[in-house]
Structure 1
Amino acid sequence: MAGMELTPLRPWDDFFPGAERFAKPDFGDLTKWNNRVISNLMYYQTNYFAAAIAVFVVVGFLNPFGMFLGGTVVTLVFVGSVWAGENKVMIKNFKRKNPTLFVIGVMGTSYFLLSLCGGVMVFIFGITFPLLLILVHASLRLRNMKNRLENKMEGIGLKKSPMGVIMDLLDQQEEKMNKIQDFIEGKLKD
């Protein structure tokens, strides 16, 4: 974790500008949509963390034990799935090819385990709702030049951030790194 930087909190008018900076994703091109989501997750990560923490605090205040239990279960399931993804080739390939389904699987498993403990409402409002808000914003927010530049710097290793570590655990950074490397090699050949 040495050299990790927390990205700055983006101003409100950059994070949530007018309607002209939002657009429906192209559902027919999942790669382009995935790249938009990853880029926005990387660029606005501090804003997303702040929003999620605000929801966690509110729900945690209303039901502290349920929030602690929910957070613990989701964390253990995520860590277990990442470990399985690193040690089982089949899971690693699935995770790399279907990151959204992988996250849905982690959340579904967490939901099932929490339903056994009676913590479903805390799971829905304290964990799933902030993730849904983040996914909706990251899917709809168009990227700008600053966003693309910051993500390229992270992709080639000039910077490291908490969301970059999470993307590495989901095997999403490696694809971006390969694309950047192919782009650079293509430019060197020209």
Structure 2
Amino acid sequence: MPDLIFPPLRSFHDFVSASARFGLPDGQDVHKWNNRVINNLHYYQSNYFVLAICVFLLVGCLQPVHMVEGLAIVAVGCWGASLVKSYWPYLQALQGEKLGLMLAGTAAATVLFIHYFLSGILFFLCAVILSVLVVILHASLRLRNIKNKLSNRIEEAGLKQTPMGVLLSSLGQEFIPIVSQHDKGFQQSITDN
């Protein structure tokens, strides 16, 4: 596997200025729209990372206490899930009264956390979701240029690997064409014979 390469920030002129070409995606051709989003995510990934952080921080400036509270609770939740995963064999060995007390204590702590910190958790999650939506919106509307297409073909050929390429591969989003319904029926008839 090739080394991970962090692509440079694309110029503001290329990313959002007046000369950058934008257009609504064709809602009828989902494959083409998906391809545009994936290619733009690859090409502008450094810009999208900076944009997502800026949106996240901007939203965080609106309610900094809720943001820090939500971040802390989500971090504690992730830590707790990691802890439970690492001690899972020991927890499975608990039986009877000890297991019931532990489950009751966990349920009570969860209810208290949700009751007192729900606004912080929701605010934090809204900031994360808004950051992702802004990135997806730009990737959907930004038309590709020649440099974008060339850069994506180099990564597709496996000559370089980027963080966005690794993330999209782990999510199952690669440069694979979508099979039409007609082709699926044809493939099904071949496998039946």
TM-score range, shorter chain: 0.5 to 0.7
Letter aligned with residue 51 of structure 2: A
Cα distance in 2 for residues equivalent to 1:35 and 1:70: 33
- Tell me if structure 2 keeps the 8 A contact 1:60–1:66: no
Q: Is the 8 A contact 2:35 2:175 kept in 1?
A: no
Q: Which amino acid aligns with 1:120?
A: L
C-alpha spacing 1:2/1:70, structure 2 compared with 1 (3 Å): farther
Q: 1:3 to 1:16 in 2, by over 3 A?
A: same
Residue identity over aligned pairs, in percent, reads 41
Measured after TM superposition, the shift of residue 170 of structure 1 is 1.2
In structure 1, C-alpha distance between the alignment counterparts of 2:27 and 2:76, rounded to whole Å:
34
Q: Which has the higher contact order (CA 8 A, sep 6+)?
A: 2
**Other-structure match for 1:139:** 140
1:6 aligns with 2:6: yes
Greater share of residues in helix: 1
Give the total of aligned pairs: 138
The yes-or-no answer on 1:65 pairing with 2:66 is: no
> Over the residues paired in the alignment, what is the CA RMSD in angstroms?
2.9
Asked which structure has the greater CA Rg, the reply is: 2
> Is there any run of 5+ residues in structure 1 with no aligned partner, and where?
78-113, 177-190
Letter in 2 for 1:66: G
User: Structure 1 residues 3 and 36, CA, compared in 2 at 3 Å: closer, same or farther?
Assistant: same
Residue 47 of structure 2 aligns with an amino acid whose one-letter code is N
Task: Report the Cα distance in structure 2 between the residues aligned to 1:120 and 1:147, rounded to whole angstroms.
Answer: 36
Cα displacement string for residues 101-149 of structure 1 (whole angstroms, at most 9, x for unaligned residues): xxxxxxxxxxxxx97861112211x201011100110000000010011
In the TM superposition, residue 2 of structure 1 has moved relative to its aligned partner by 6.4
Show structure 2 runs of 5+ residues with no match: 82-112, 178-193
**What secondary structure sits across from 1:173 in the alignment?**
coil
TM-superposed CA distance for 1:68, in Å, is 4.1
Q: Which residue of 2 aligns with 1:123?
A: 125
Query: Do the aligned partners of residues 59 and 20 (structure 1) sit closer, same or farther apart at CA in structure 2, a change above 3 Å counting?
Result: closer
